[in-house]
Amino acid sequence: MPQSLFLIHRGRTDVETLGEGPAEFIHAQSGGQLNYSWPAQVNRSFHVAASISFSRSAKSSRTKL
Q: Which residue has the higher pLDDT, 33 or 60?
A: 33
Distance CA 6, CA 28 (A): 35
- Residues 42-56 have a mean pLDDT of 68
Instruction: Please state, in angstroms and as integers, the Cα–Cα distance from residue 54 to each residue in 3, 19, 27, 40, 61, following that order.
Output: 27, 18, 32, 19, 10
Quote the pTM value: 0.55
Q: Provide the mean pLDDT of the chain.
A: 80
Residue 8: predicted pLDDT = 85
Lowest mean pLDDT among 5-9, 13-17, 61-65: 61-65
Residue 43 zone, left/alpha/beta (φ > 0; ψ -120 to 50; rest): beta
